[in-house]
Amino acid sequence: MYRYAEVLIDVANRRLDQSYHYLIPESLELKIGMRVLVTLQNRKIQGLVVNLTNDLPEELASVKLKPVLEGLGMDSLVPSDLIELAHWLAQTTICSMAQSLHTVWPLLNGKVEEWIIPLAALTDPDVQTLKWLDIEAFRAIKVLNRARNRGIPIKTFIRRAAISEAALEKLLQAGWVKKEARFVSIGEGPVRKKSLGEASLKRKSSAGRTYELSGEQATAVKNVLTALAEGSPQTILLHGVTGSGKTDVYLELIAQVLTQGGDAILLVPEISLTSQVARYFETRFGDQVIILHSRLRPREKMKAWEDILVGQKRIVIGTRSAVFAPLPHLRLIILDEEHDGAYKQDENPKYHARDVARKRMEQRKGVVLLGSATPSLEAYAAAQSGKIRRLTMTQRIGESTLPPVEIVDMREELMQGNRSMFSRLMQQKLRERLERGEQSMLFLNRRGYSTFVVCRECGYVVSCPNCDITLTYHSQGQAMRCHYCNHQELPPLTCPKCASRYIRFFGQGTQRVEEELQGLLPETSILRLDFDTTRSGDAHHVILESFRRQEASILVGTQMMAKGLDFPNVTLVGVIAADQTLNMPDFRARERTFQLLTQVAGRAGRSTKPGEVVIQTYSPTDSAIVRAAHHDFKGFFWEEISYRKERNYPPYTHIVRVLLLHEKEDRVIKAAHDLGACLQQGRLDRTLGKNELDILGPAPAVFTRIKNQWRWQISVKGRHLDLLRAFIHQGVQRFYKGSASSGIILNIEVDPLSS
């Protein structure tokens, strides 16, 4: 029996972010991966046992250790590979271990509560004497009698028994009950055990394939299965044009993995895609499929993890957090649309699902498959250099072909007197589709009615009082809304600054596109797909199914409709304003524009009916737009990678950004300069030159205030990521020792996807 436990403390505080040693009482049996209740600085908190030993580190040999108070949840031990993953995640994202643990293993979520536990048989005749001594005590006995020896949370007990603190104290003194600290999980209830026989019933192979793979699809499947058979961790990029049948490749691979006794995870970038993808897989694999995403309630997520742990669910389909699903026999992780920025977590720990997937398959010696028609430059560059393998599918399945794309110069439209947001070519193509009974999709990557409200006399722009963001006007509700903190206000009739009556709406959003389109084609049925129309639970599914049944001729939407949608009757896709993403202040703006245009164009002509695409822009000669119009990924890649190399941008360098937040601007500015000084001191201590590390800032963030918090940032660039992480970690530790760090929130992001 071991004498000491090394425990990771569940406190999201960098000063306490470490493991501590505790004495194991003789009456307590502990295991690695078990939750325990311990004391730290006179507080009872939970922790996780990460090691058991009989030997203490030398510096603790003469220290009197505190004992572990009790074990919590023997039935939900954290697997050792996920403890290792949590350590790795904390190190690579430079976050606290507590934050990492809660991300990797959400079953830790919960709190320590005080419970009341009965100590005697409450039917004993002596207890009945309390009835005439104290009516409150008698009510308490009745409640405890129902709870039996399980006990009851103290707050619930007081409420149900309607007793006072004094009456409770009397019961404690009489020795009928005791107080006990317990860890209560969100969702409650232990992991439900299954016999091996019951679990194995769920591991039967699936029904046979009912579709035929093309030559390119079959080759892709064969290559991935060969990689799996090699038994070494591998990452493979599947570069397939839109409509080339990547989903059928995923389906066949997962079927083969299940037949061989393995489990699989399929990640998609949007919650809205999970249900439609899951339905496709459930048709073949039935109840072996489970969906995981952030909108599940805590109790639902707990139940889902329990089913996964016991082997009842073998295929997990979900968004980025599903990459942590504890499948016992995990062999394959697929990232569909791997280029999508949604795979990067916005909150600590700021992980990328692709990196986590590669780490998990390194542990399990499995395969990560990255699928996309427009791979990220980082993934494609890794394939070009031989760091990962690449498979290609260049042809659409069946009789469909990639649609021709026409670029419309909106400057010429304006010069010729067309002030509409729709070019004459777009209007002509829309009418042709209506006459033929075919459908169209119009894309604009901005929701709302107008982008901003501005005074034409003094230039005043109506902005959010909580954020450094202009308000967007929404005609539905006649309100201006902030898309960051959801602040709302009525549009002013006159300018708040100069009182001018010439205050107008500028820019355009999907709501305005829908309205003007209705005016242009009054008899046409139109649907809109954006964040505003899909707020309710199944609204996204309802809108898409209505369009699939051809109850509307035109679908207007944001990037929600750029991924994974397949409508046989859609023969026209129109892009209203390609410049909106092109002119963002971000070195990745051209890459995002190319990806978005290519993905949107890929929605047209996906069956036997040929499709067409019209792109409207004020920058018709920009190579990102021209290359997308020609479906020329390789040409775009070589242009863009040369630009990145020339300016020392990723993937030729790495960036770590530290964002500092506080409600007072002067505090965050002082803290940013103090952190900058700590980092500069670290460079001197390590005698690092500019060629190794480049410190940028401190400077205001792109959005200097969001949700009433001021934001400054410091970025550090360097070629060697391990060196960068160590440098930032030491600088942050030095910063926390100073007074300027008090109350400051730090968000650290490795290789951020946006400025």
539 or 716: whose pLDDT is higher?
716
**Confidence at residue 14, expressed as pLDDT on a 0 to 100 scale:** 59
CA-based radius of gyration for the chain: 30
**161 and 136 in contact (C-beta within 8 Å)?**
yes
Weakest-pLDDT range from 19-23, 67-71, 107-111: 107-111
Of 303-317, 495-509, 689-703, highest mean pLDDT: 303-317
pLDDT in tens, 663-679: 999 999 999 999 999 99
Beta strand 479-481 with 472-474 is antiparallel
Whether 465 is covered by a domain: the verdict is no
Of 39-53, 59-73, 321-335, highest mean pLDDT: 321-335
Structure tokens at 108: 């830790």
Residue 604 exposed, middle or buried by CB count within 10 Å (0-12, 13-18, 19+):
buried
Mean pLDDT of the chain: 83
Strand ranges, E, within 119-186: 152-153, 177-185
Strand ranges, E, within 438-502: 439-443, 452-455, 472-474, 479-481, 488-489
Determine the Cα–Cα distance for residues 745 and 738; give it in Å rounded to an integer: 14
**Are 636 and 713 within one domain?**
no
Structure tokens at 404: 């021709």
In this prediction, residues 9-18 reach a mean pLDDT of: 66
Whether 190 is covered by a domain: the verdict is no
Is the model's pLDDT at 434 over the cut of 50? yes
Is the model's pLDDT at 73 over the cut of 70? no
223 or 31: whose pLDDT is higher?
223
**Confidence at residue 605, expressed as pLDDT on a 0 to 100 scale:** 82
Question: What is residue 121's three-state secondary structure?
Answer: coil
Of 13-17, 496-500, 613-617, highest mean pLDDT: 613-617
Whether 456 is covered by a domain: the verdict is no
**Are 443 and 578 within one domain?**
yes
Weakest-pLDDT range from 186-200, 329-343, 393-407: 186-200
**Are 177 and 201 within one domain?**
no
**Confidence at residue 629, expressed as pLDDT on a 0 to 100 scale:** 93
**Confidence at residue 323, expressed as pLDDT on a 0 to 100 scale:** 96
Specify the CATH number for the domain of residue 70. 3.40.1440.60
Weakest-pLDDT range from 136-145, 264-273, 447-456, 567-576: 447-456
CA distances from 106 to 10, 86, 303, 630 (A): 12, 12, 11, 45
**Are 82 and 135 within one domain?**
no
pLDDT in tens, 287-301: 999 999 888 887 788
Spell out the alpha helix ranges (H) of 421-494: 424-436
**Are 429 and 557 within one domain?**
yes
CA distances from 114 to 154, 162, 180, 605, 725 (A): 6, 17, 6, 63, 41
The amino acid occupying position 517 is L
Determine the Cα–Cα distance for residues 143 and 151; give it in Å rounded to an integer: 10
Determine the Cα–Cα distance for residues 152 and 118; give it in Å rounded to an integer: 9
Is the model's pLDDT at 627 over the cut of 90? yes
Determine the Cα–Cα distance for residues 78 and 412; give it in Å rounded to an integer: 63
Q: Of 347, 370, 393, which residue constitutes the final position of a domain?
A: 393
Whether 490 is covered by a domain: the verdict is no
**Are 267 and 357 within one domain?**
yes
**18 and 96 in contact (C-beta within 8 Å)?**
no
pLDDT in tens, 110-148: 565 677 877 755 555 455 555 545 677 777 777 777 766
132 or 390: whose pLDDT is higher?
390
Spell out the alpha helix ranges (H) of 295-373: 298-309, 353-364
**Are 219 and 346 within one domain?**
yes
The proportion of the chain whose per-residue pLDDT surpasses 70, expressed as a percent, equals: 85
Strand order in the sheet with 43-53: 19-23, 4-9, 43-53, 35-40, 70-72
Whether 462 is covered by a domain: the verdict is no
Q: Model-level pTM? A: 0.81
**Are 133 and 47 within one domain?**
no
Is the model's pLDDT at 282 over the cut of 60? yes
- β-partners of residue 612 are 572
Whether 503 is covered by a domain: the verdict is no
**Confidence at residue 347, expressed as pLDDT on a 0 to 100 scale:** 85
**Are 15 and 101 within one domain?**
yes
Residue with tokens 């390789």: 634
Determine the Cα–Cα distance for residues 379 and 387; give it in Å rounded to an integer: 9
**Are 25 and 164 within one domain?**
no
Question: What is residue 317's three-state secondary structure?
Answer: strand
Backbone phi, psi, residue 252, to 5°:
-65, -40
**Confidence at residue 98, expressed as pLDDT on a 0 to 100 scale:** 77
pLDDT in tens, 553-608: 999 988 777 776 778 899 999 999 888 777 666 788 899 999 989 988 888 888 78
In this prediction, residues 370-382 reach a mean pLDDT of: 95
Is the model's pLDDT at 689 over the cut of 60? no
CA distances from 303 to 189, 203, 274 (A): 9, 19, 18
Is the model's pLDDT at 185 over the cut of 70? no
Q: Of 137, 152, 185, which residue constitutes the final position of a domain?
A: 185
**Are 343 and 372 within one domain?**
yes
Whether 479 is covered by a domain: the verdict is no
Domain count, the chain: 5
Residue with tokens 């916005």: 346
Q: Of 135, 156, 185, which residue constitutes the final position of a domain?
A: 185
Domain with 82 in it: 4-109
In this prediction, residues 239-250 reach a mean pLDDT of: 93
Of 123-132, 302-311, 631-640, 702-711, highest mean pLDDT: 631-640
**Confidence at residue 298, expressed as pLDDT on a 0 to 100 scale:** 76
Question: What is residue 280's three-state secondary structure?
Answer: helix
Structure tokens at 420: 């509409």
Whether 491 is covered by a domain: the verdict is no
Strand ranges, E, within 562-686: 570-575, 612-617, 654-662
Of 51-55, 278-282, 390-394, 491-495, highest mean pLDDT: 390-394
**Are 119 and 223 within one domain?**
no
Specify the CATH number for the domain of residue 436. 3.40.50.300
Name the pLDDT band for 219 (thresholds 50, 70, 90): very high
**Confidence at residue 191, expressed as pLDDT on a 0 to 100 scale:** 42
